[in-house]
Chains A and B, each alone.
Chain A
Amino acid sequence: MGKITGFMEYQRLAEAAEDKRERVKHYREFVLHLSDQEAGIQGARCMDCGIPFCMTGCPVNNIIPDWNDLVYKQDWRLALDVLHSTNNFPEFTGRVCPAPCEAACTLNINSDPVGIKSIEHAIIDKGWEQGWVVPQLPKRKTGKKVAVIGSGPAGLACAQQLARAGHAVVLFEKNDRIGGLLRYGIPDFKMEKHPIDRRMEQMRAEGVEFRTNQHVGQNVNAKDILAQFDAVALTGGAEHPRDLPVPGRNLEGVYFAMQFLPLQNKVVAGDKIPGQILATGKHVVVIGGGDTGSDCVGTSNRQGAASVTQFELLPQPPAQEDKPLVWPYWPLKLRTSSSHEEGCERDWAVATKEFIGENGKVKIIKIVRVEWKDGKMTEVPGSESEIKADLVLLAMGFLGPVQTGLIEQFAVEKDARSNVKAETDGPKAYCTSVPKVFAAGDMRRGQSLVVWAIREGRQCARSVDEFLMGRSDLPR
């Protein structure tokens, strides 16, 4: 399927993007999806492998060869069906997923992988354009009520699956808008927010009730939830950020990334935010080399920062991984994001010693170079230096779910990493230690990708359905 010799004839084509000098002037998405023909040719590069490694590389196990072939044959409608059969929200993953599927693509062994993500992007955008994405109403109602707490990708996926199985689902969200990190963690220029709203419309029609500003564990009591619902799914994410306890941490101008990023999203959404933390005209230092750090870089540039510097504690990874020993797994290698391209100094193997301030406001960061040997870090003697910093954004990852409130009230058992404890396989899949309470997504597995959250939300929904009905037809 696909085209037998397509991979030998066609080159990989990246999605077109607006020029970096232009795109930093606004917060809109700047990546364009492929045209029908372009996507068709990219689909033709798929070899329809006897073992599609992409499919296991993908956490939701998208049936990639099948929709690649359908796009090649320009059967977009069926391609959309196949895509939706494993993934509730391809519009999210088609935009923000790092695409482990492409790392696992067999063409990636010795050539450029199939542009799987770009094809997914094209399919789902086409689906919305054509009005093919419509509510899938359950055949009958079960009369069971399920509370899903947390409206990030895991919660959304879980809620949608359960509604389709005929359950009455209420989705609780502590913020004013639905979407969790999709809404407030990911900047608009990476993913605009109207797709979330569109999905909400669909889900509402399928029977999901959304309740915002409902912070279970704060303004809503777990006891009440347990009393009102036949089952509960905890999908509250892993929002407890890793801190940097060095002298000067309390200075003004040192913030967690998640204190900074949501504000800009709200502004883009039309909210008025008095005293918004802004990078405008400032020397910004982002500490942490991951995706969140990258988002901070992009946002800072858009706000008009004087300079942006990003530090990473770990050494600079190689530009190219040792494929024979890594493929088909996710490689550790130097990744340059679109935000980096827009302007940023990057430095590796750098540790922060101290924040030095003036009038309570941070002005300088004292750093030191470090060396790594056998997984152990040592400072390089005499390598301290100081760097100007008006705004420091800490993007060093998350330690797990916020422990207070929700988790306390449900009194669920936790694992060694302070996540809510639950298996993913077997008869107790996604069950917490508390009867009828389930957990999925980052809250269960710790900080991860959107696509993992969707997977867990779907699988958790099946477990809940089985728990409620004795059996389930929901796919895992």
Chain B
Amino acid sequence: MAHPTLPARQGLYDPANEHDACGVGFIANIKGARSHAIIEQGLLILKNLTHRGAVGADPLAGDGAGILIQIPDQFFREEMADRGVKLPPLGEYGVGMIFLPQEPASRLACEYEIERAIKDEGQVLLGWRDVPRDNAGLGESVKKIEPVIRQVFIGRGAGVTVTDALERKLYIIRKVSGHAIQALKLEHSKEFYVPSMSARTLVYKGMLLAGQVGSYYKDLSDPRVTSALALVHQRFSTNTFPTWDLAHPFRMIAHNGEINTLRGNVNWLRARQGAIFSPILGKDLDKVWPLIYDGQSDSASFDNALELLIMSGYSLAHAMMMLIPEAWEKHTFMDPHRRAFYEYHAAMMEPWDGPAAVAFSDGRQIGATLDRNGLRPARYLVTSDDMVVMASETGVLPIPEEKIIKKWRLQPGKMFLIDLEAGRIIDDKELKDTLANSKPYRAWIERIRIKLDDLPAPTKIAEQSKVPLLDRQQAFGYTQEDLKFILSPMAQQGEEAIGSMGNDSPLAVLSNKDKPLYNYFKQLFAQVTNPPIDPIREDLVMSLVSFIGPKPNLLGIDETNPPMRLEVGQPVLDFNQMDTIRHIDYYTGGKFKSFEIDISYPVAWGKQAIEARLASLCAQAEDAVRSGYSILIVSDRKVDADHVAIPALLALSGIHQHLVGKGLRTSAGLVVETGSAREVHHFALLAGYGAEAVHPCVAMETIFHAGASIPEEYRGEKGVKNYVKAIGKGLMKVMSKMGISTYMSYTGAQIFEAVGLARGMVDKYFTGTTSNVEGIGVFEVAEEAIRLHLAAFGNDPVLANALDAGGEYAFRVRGEEHMWTPEAIAKLQHSTRANSFQTFRDYAKIINDQSRRHMTLRGLFEFRVDPAKSIPIDEVEPAREIVKRFATGAMSLGSISTEAHTTLAIAMNRIGGKSNTGEGGEDPRRYAPVKAGETLASRLGRDRIQRDIPLREGDSLRSKIKQVASGRFGVTAEYLNSADQIQIKMAQGAKPGEGGQLPGHKVSEYIAELRFSVPGVGLISPPPHHDIYSIEDLAQLIHDLKNGNPRASISVKLVSEDGVGTVAAGVSKAKADHVTIAGHDGGTGASPWSSIKHAGTPWELGLAETQQTLVLNKLRGRIAVQVDGQMKTGRDVAIGAILGADEFGFATAPLVVTGCIMMRKCHLNTCPVGVATQDPELRKKFKGQPEHVVNFFFFIAEEVREIMASLGVRKLGDLIGRTDLLDMKKGIEHWKAKGLDFSRIFQMPHMPPEVAIYNSEKQDHGLEKALDHRLIELAQPAIQRAEKVTVEMPIRNVNRTVGTMLSSEVAKKYGNSGLADDTIHVRFAGSAGQSFGAFLVRGITLDLIGEANDYVGKGLSGGRISVQPSPKFRGSPTENIIIGNTVMYGAIAGEAYFRGVAGERFCVRNSGAQAVVEGVGDHGCEYMTGGTVVVLGMTGRNFAAGMSGGIAYVLDEDGSFNSRCNQSMVQMESVLAEAEQEAKVSRDIWHMGQADETILKGFIERHARYSGSIRAREILDNWTTYRAKFVKVFPTEYRRALGEMAAKRRKLAA
């Protein structure tokens, strides 16, 4: 259904991009005892989750909240009796909760359709009831669209004997009436919506704040309204358009998270329409379609899918397991029956993938499940009086500790179900075992599964083309660079090559070169609303398994003879596999039949033929499927001099979409055999548009015949094998960038955006893909293919015996164009060194003048200059004001040299702009202002500077912007307190959605010091921030950082892609003060080429979308917008301002000013000009000077002033958002570029004049509510005079980020060394909110009796935390959860003692803190680089993944730890007695220079002391026995580095 009240799609704003995430919870009585108290408590949970929601521009307009309860029979019975209606017994009538239009005639029309549907479906209308409401507290914007809300009562008709049958009829009534009302197409029927229509459940929800639900719906406060369960939800939407229907719960679920694969899931459901039948629903199934309306939210779509499965007879648990399966593919120790269950269902339904905690109920059962990654928090507790409370966080209901018998959490992929009818909790194992054994899945799988790899290899390979390889390579647009940068590295190393710096070559649509169609698509990626995954360290959730061929009937619950399926381990087929598929009927005894669709056509027919050819191919495909072929091979192998290939991607997608539309897609598999696919991006696109497998024939032949560009040993099978491996790895990276784990759900998911393709063509052949600037149509696509074809088979002497040079990856004369030409670099360097504005003009002209070479979208813009309005330049604000809006990009010390890093900082401080630390901390020696006579070396240390830089008095080396990236390196309380702005890097233009790695050899002693790590030990930045899995998590981090330094503004860095505007709106609502929109082309120190080239979009698109969305939401005023990405000239700045930027970031250009010559060797550490290297010899060659950088920025400002004068604008602020001043350049002749249309970029929403279009107000961070104000007050003696202070106070879950502002006060005064241990001692009792003790500094101790939520001790900076259960709690600490997920993330120093079990991701990226805990969830100690962790209980899976430093001691009582420890970077050793260690192990590699026994025992003793742990006591009492059961987890890198450091020390000593 179209959202009733969202603004229409306009400009770059598209309502389809809405995201939400939120707080969810439920309470239930296990025995099914109904009470009104449950509803009251449900509403209380909702209130206590308020901080997980958000408010928009109107503070009285929340994002939506609601509650699902059981039908209150008694209440309705009495209510309806008053209206003269006698209700039948419970279970024999249904209640529909209906939102109706305010306009009376439309409302009647809707009601009539409902009544008609009831009648048509043979049921009985019992009556209507107006739902009593009180809208007094609602905001004006909400009231304006408030629907009329009525309940309809429906009695069962003849033939309906059981409640389940009635439920199905109610479902059909809802569907039929909904479709009918849609079909009326009434202007005033948009409010129509049915929150629920069931004989068991009832939903009260709306565009309400959490606290308003109970008061708005008067029913909810009526004591007669009772229920045994209450499911509640509080929404945080990225946007603020008031919509009543988007509130949760839906009819069966409430969802916290994001479905990343939505587009594919919806498509696949639609694709099944023709091949689906239900023995339960029978003919009624036809009335269900369309099951999901276009543009529905992910949660609503998921609810629709779940509902269909349940109505078709699946149980709630069964259906959930189909939709959100746990990661079974690589789970080697999963029960084989359960694996078979998952494997069987995998072919029936693609996982709905993404971070999700889904709570669900059908009124009889209530439960919740978590996605396979466990990316959302869900805590529950069970009481002795049969109550269960589950919520996104603990502490949402005050429940006496003595009543609680179990505290636990939902675990990744696990389900938790309460059966109210049976009166008991069914745990994950029992539930799944029962289902897994209910049918002989294992036997079925054995019987029906054919693994392609198991089939006999064909005896002879089919003939390869007779056309010379070189001609075919050229026909598919191969260049020499495809060999050098793509195929050769993959064939040799089995992975993609790495590049550096940004992308400065033109978009495909602007290029003079003929480009493959693949280049017109940009990969989308996760930012903020869902986390990317680390496909290397967390590969246990990743899967490339693909099924080729018909999919079983989704609703075939009584299946006894399931169809065969063909399985491949990964989707890249080699020659043998392709040949097998081609003759699959032979190899499978006729069970499968393949049909080849030749996508080449006579080149003589020209470009006009393509449209009809595509239509014919679709018809062919349809006929083939209808006549029983089970695999279609889309092939271009018949290309020769006379036959040109339709781009495989286009043919594939056209056929896929056609079959989806016909409901036939699941009846056959699609395999692509193409010469065009060679790089990861190509495979990703083919997968994303429907290919189940791909055979890249020319790429593989090329590896066989590559000549000198591939060493001989790899020129054959070995090379092909490596290549397949590399593509597989690359695909996982592309998928995980979007947070998608399985190839199955990536297939057809269309996670791309087109740039430079005409909308008409995209809508037809790539339906559902965004294309915002128009571009070439299908005939031009054909022309481009034909041009390549003619060049390949023509007489060009350059191509006679060699491929085209390329020039895409490195500059080549007559190759692809680049913004940075040799001339441009020379002119820029000369101008800034000689302070010559004249030479700068020459430079700017090279960049700006794109009349002959088209490079960027903005290159085709033109200012609308009205000479009559121009003003003299001296009326324009001075350059010294404009430069304050400039910042340099986030380049870490590590990626660039200290000399280069400080040069930029000095320059920016001189002009009043801002420099950025980048990820990696900052030397505190840089903080104080420079005194006369100092130099860089005198300040930072002579041994650390290779080329000294003279300083002036008053200079500052401090970077005003402090970056907080996923690695959290060096993010201490002191670091935060030295910031003017704290930037959260969500994504980086060059590699959005990916992590990074600083290899050990680059981690010098200095860098290690700044990052609190060990020299020589490699450092991994994970793809996601492990404390940001959703928008409300980001809000939490913003809150944490604001507490960490209330004086700093908080910025969030995003990368331009379709939908970034919506994310930016969410960021604004999450209280960020500042947002950066980076273009896709920004620089990097190292990134795979496919990310540099193919992910993200130009900032022109992202910035304009951001501005439009923020203004439309009335959120623009409270946030500053910065733009960056290949900003080079004043013209770029002016255009940035016009499209909506307040500030401007520059990175590459200032680097060039300091000497960078675009070597693109940053990742090799061989920068010959000392900019991007740590090599001391090369750093001596650094020639940059702050003065030059200052000159650069003043030149830029001067150019901006000239433009402003010509436009008649006096202040830069007045230029912001003035898109009326931009136009598309006239007379663009270029055959591709002339199809572009920028009107969507230039469109500004029509808003009243009082709506801000630039940053003009401040965010309200709500810091005044913080508990810390009281703590700071009480701790004054400590802060002022370092006197000991002890405080005691209660704490609740709404008290978030406790101790952080207090730490900020201490750090401001005492720096990182803080106060003496335990100077401020605070004792809390209760349930602490999120981020308890974040960035806690030395000298502060927080003791908590009770429990805590997620992020305890985040960024711990020297303080001490202990958490122990209330003495009244009777559960055993090792079996109950005490703290939430992602505890001690990025901790730097300090200690923590947790008497109980922690959630997932304990001590991720710990770099120096010591922690003891009595059990951890999955991914413990991931990416850890230092410190010590002691686990006195069970661990989850994937322990120590990516761990490069520090030590973990794990008590492994049953010897099973081995299977849960990821040993790719660590070794498992036993903990020796001290004497034995002395005897056997060199002291060089002792952790902290002490014996393991001493360390371990010491920590356990402290644990016993600080947390009162009985477990610790018991271990100490039986020390010898227990010591032997401990496993020492020792990272190999750390061991090597310890050895090397010891050797170095000895050498120095000698």
Residues of A within 8 A of B (CB): 1, 4-5, 7-8, 47-53, 55-57, 61, 63, 65-66, 70, 73, 75, 78, 81, 85, 104, 106-107, 109-111, 139, 164, 324-325, 327-329, 473-476
Is B805 on the interface with A (CB-CB < 8 A)? yes
Chain A, residue nearest B796 (CB): A473
Residue contact A328 to B822, C-beta cutoff 8 Å:
yes
* Shortest 5 CB-CB contacts between residues of A and residues of B: A50-B1160, A61-B813, A473-B796, A51-B811, A56-B822
Whether A106 touches B1157, Cβ cut-off 8 Å, given contacts A51-B820, A78-B708, is yes
Q: A1 near B484 (CB under 8 angstroms)? A: yes
A56 touches B813 (CB 8 A): yes
B811 and A8 contact, CB distance less than 8 A: no
Known: A47-B1161, A109-B1157. 9 other contacts (CB 8 A): A8-B1178, A48-B810, A49-B1160, A61-B813, A107-B1168, A109-B1168, A164-B797, A475-B797, A476-B814
Q: Could you list which residues of chain B lie within 8 angstroms of chain A, going by C-beta atoms?
A: 480, 484, 501, 707-708, 794-798, 801-802, 805, 810-814, 818, 820-823, 825-826, 829-830, 833-834, 1155, 1157-1161, 1164, 1166, 1168-1169, 1177-1178, 1181, 1183
Residues of A within 8 A of B829 (CB): 324
Asked if B797 and A109 make an inter-chain contact with CB atoms under 8 angstroms apart, the answer reads no
| Closest partner residue, chain B, to A136 (CB atom) | B797
With A53-B822, A53-B1157 in contact, is A7–B813 under 8 Å at CB? Answer: no
User: What A residues does B1181 contact at CB under 8 A?
Assistant: 109-111
8 contacts between A and B (CB under 8 A): A8-B1178, A50-B501, A50-B1159, A51-B825, A61-B814, A109-B1169, A324-B1183, A475-B797
Chain A residue contacts of B830, Cβ below 8 A: 324-325
A48 to chain B: which residues have CB within 8 Å? 810
Contact A50 B708 (CB under 8 A): no
List chain A residues, Cβ under 8 A from B501: 50
A337 to B1181, CA, bound (A): 29
Instruction: Out of B822, B1164, B1178, name the residue touching A4 (CB < 8 Å).
Output: B1164
B-chain residues with CB within 8 Å of residue A49 when the two chains form the complex: 810, 1157-1161
Chain B proximity of A189: nearest CB distance (Å): 33
List residues of chain B with CB within 8 A of the CB of A81. 801-802
- In the bound complex, do residue A329 and residue B813 qualify as a contact, i.e. CB atoms below 8 Å apart? no
Complex CA gap A139/B834 in Å reads: 54
Q: Are B796 and A55 in contact (CB under 8 A)?
A: no
Contacts of B1160 in A (CB 8 A): 49-50
Q: Which of A7, A49, A107, A139 has the most CB of B within 10 A?
A: A49
Q: Are B822 and A51 neighbours in the complex by a CB distance under 8 Å?
A: yes
The complex places the Cα of A474 from the Cα of B1031 at a distance, in Å, of 57
Bound together, the chains give a CA A206 to CA B1454 distance in angstroms of: 84
Q: How far is the CA of A247 from the CA of B814 in the complex (A)?
A: 53
Task: Give chain A residues whose Cβ lies under 8 Å from the Cβ of B1177.
Answer: 8
**Within the assembled complex, what's the spacing in Å between the Cα atoms of A324 and B828?**
11
Note all chain B residues with C-beta closer than 8 A to A78. Answer: 707-708
Give the shortest distance, in Å, between B781 (CB) and chain A (any CB).
23
Residues of B within 8 A of A106 (CB): 1157, 1159, 1168-1169
- C-alpha gap A328/B1181 in the complex (Å): 17
* A110–B1168 touching, CB < 8 Å: yes
Among residues of A, the one whose C-beta sits closest to the C-beta of B484 is A1
Secondary structure of the B side of the interface?
loop
Contacts of A139 in B (CB 8 A): 795
Query: CA–CA, A8 to B1177, complex, Å?
Result: 9
Residue from A66, A325, A475 having most chain B Cβ neighbours under 10 A: A325
Most chain A Cβ neighbours within 10 Å, of B813, B821, B1160: B813
Given contacts A4-B1164, A70-B708, A473-B794, contact A55 B813 (CB under 8 A): yes
Query: What B residues does A53 contact at CB under 8 A?
Result: 822, 1157
- Say yes or no: A325-B798 contact (C-beta < 8 A), given A51-B811, A51-B820, A106-B1159: no
Whole-angstrom distance from the CB of A52 to the nearest CB of chain B?
Answer: 6
Report the nearest B residue to A472, measured CB to CB.
B796
A467, B733: Cα distance in complex, Å:
51
Interface centre among B820, B1166, B1178 (most CB of A within 10 A): B1166
Question: Nearest chain B CB to A309's CB is how many angstroms away?
Answer: 37
Kindly name the residue among A1, A107, A324, A474 whose own CB sees the greatest number of chain B CB atoms within 10 A.
Answer: A324
Provide the residues of chain A in CB contact with B1166, threshold 8 Å.
4-5, 7-8, 47
- Given A61-B814, A63-B812, A324-B829, answer yes or no on A47-B708 (Cβ-Cβ < 8 Å): no
- In the complex, are the beta carbons of B822 and A50 less than 8 A apart? no
CA distance A53 to B829 in the complex (A): 14
Q: Which of B822, B833, B834 lies in contact with A104, CB distance below 8 A?
A: B822
Q: Is the CB of B1157 within 8 A of A324?
A: no
- Residues of A near B811 (CB, < 8 A) are 50-52, 55
Pick the contact of B826 from A107, A110, A327, A474 — CB < 8 Å? A327
Distance of B1085 from chain A, by nearest CB (Å):
13
Chain B residues near A107 (CB-CB < 8 A): 1168
What's the Cα separation between A257 and B794 when bound, in Å?
49
* A164 CA to B796 CA, complexed, in Å: 11
**B809 — nearest CB in chain A belongs to which residue?**
A50
Are B1168 and A51 touching (Cβ within 8 A)? no
Closest B residue by C-beta to A74: B708
| List of A residues within 8 angstroms of B1168 by Cβ | 7, 47, 106-107, 109-111
Name the B residues within 8 Å of A476 (CB-CB).
814
Q: State whether B798 touches A75 (Cβ < 8 A).
A: no
Q: Which B residues are CB-close (under 8 A) to A85?
A: 798, 802
Closest to B839 in A: A325
Contact A51–B810 (Cβ < 8 Å) = yes
**Which of B480, B484, B798, B818 is A51 in contact with, Cβ under 8 Å?**
B818
Given A48-B810, A49-B810, A73-B708; A329-B797 close (CB under 8 Å): no
Tell me the minimal C-beta distance from A444 to chain B in angstroms. 21
Interface centre among B795, B821, B822, B1157 (most CB of A within 10 A): B822
CB–CB A63/B805 < 8 A: yes
- Tell me the bound Cα distance from A44 to B826 in angstroms: 25
Hey, which chain B residues are within 8 Å of A325, CB to CB? 830, 833-834
Q: Which residues of A contact B833 (CB under 8 A)?
A: 324-325
Query: Taking the nearest CB of chain A, how far is it from the CB of B1208, in angstroms?
Result: 36
Residue of A nearest to B829 (CB): A324
Question: Is B812 a contact partner of A55 (Cβ separation < 8 A)?
Answer: yes
- CB of A77 to closest CB in B, whole Å: 10
CB distance from A45 to the nearest CB of B (A): 11
Q: Is the CB of B812 within 8 A of A50?
A: no
Closest chain-B Cβ to A428's Cβ sits at a distance in Å of 16
By the criterion CB–CB under 8 Å, are B1159 and A47 in contact?
yes
What is the chain B residue whose CB lies nearest that of A48? B810
A401 shortest CB reach to chain B, Å: 28
Least CB distance from A15 to B in Å reads 24
Closest to A107 in B: B1168
In the bound complex, what is the Cα–Cα distance between A78 and B805 (angstroms)? 14
Contacts of B797 in A (CB 8 A): 164, 473-475
Give A387 Cβ to nearest chain B Cβ, in Å: 40
Among A51, A63, A139, the most chain B Cβ lie within 10 Å of the Cβ of A51
Q: How many Å from the CB of B1083 to the closest CB on chain A?
A: 11
A61-B823 Cα distance, complex, nearest whole Å:
14
A194 to chain B, nearest CB (A): 27
Most-contacted residue by chain B among A107, A164, A328 (CB, 10 A):
A328
Q: Chain A's nearest CB lies how many Å from the CB of B43?
A: 61
Kindly state the separation between the CA atoms of A48 and B794 in the bound complex, as whole angstroms: 31
Q: Which residue of chain B is the closest to A55 with respect to CB atoms?
A: B813
Chain B: minimal CB distance from A5 (Å)? 6
Question: Which residue of B is nearest A75, CB measured?
Answer: B708
Contact B810 A50, beta carbon cutoff 8 Å: yes
Cα distance, A107 to B1169, chains bound together (Å): 9
Q: How far is the CA of A15 from the CA of B1221 in the complex (A)?
A: 61
A329 and B829 alpha carbons, distance in the complex (Å): 12
CA distance A53 to B501 in the complex (A): 17
A164: chain B residues at CB < 8 Å are: 797
For the complex, give the distance between the alpha carbons of A106 and B797 in Å.
Answer: 31
Give the distance to chain A from B1147, nearest Cβ to Cβ, in Å: 16
A378 to B1428, CA, bound (A): 81
